[in-house]
Amino acid sequence: MSIDFTGHCALPRPEAQDRIDFLRQKRPDWFGGVLHLTDADGLGPFGREIALEFGVEAKCKFSLFLLNKAWLDQCRDAVEYVYRVFGTDDLVITYGMDSIRPPLAKYPPMKID
């Protein structure tokens, strides 16, 4: 069983990468243990159109891959933390590329150092 998520991000790629680096630094247990978090990447063919269908005008994307299905409960908290860091206006996370994994609440972008 493979569980993966795609982050469709409206931030410019360098800014998204800064937030990804922040996630890895602040929560290495989640984003180096429970989930493999990829770097921000281009959208690829039809990526912009796909993201628009999910309600975000994406400029880049990234992926999260669950490394062990036994960690599924921790995965839920980790994905929610990604929404907290990016903010819900600039990010939509989907299960693979199929359906939206909605946030539990609306979040402004977190201030990062």
Confidence band, pLDDT 50/70/90 cuts, at residue 111: very high
Provide, rounded to the nearest whole percent, the portion of the chain with pLDDT above 90: 68
- Encode pLDDT of 26-78 as tens digits: 999 999 888 999 999 998 888 888 888 888 899 999 999 998 888 888 889 99
User: Whole-number mean pLDDT of the chain?
Assistant: 92
Whole-model pTM above 0.85? yes
Domains, the chain, in order of start with CATH, read 4-100 (3.30.70.2920)
Which spans in 13-105 are helix H? 13-26, 47-53, 72-86
Q: Compute the radius of gyration of the chain from its Cα atoms.
A: 13
- Whether 62 contacts 38, CB under 8 Å: yes
Phi, psi of 50 (to 5 degrees): -60, -45
CA dist., res. 35 & res. 41, Å (int): 17
pLDDT of 1 strictly over 60: no
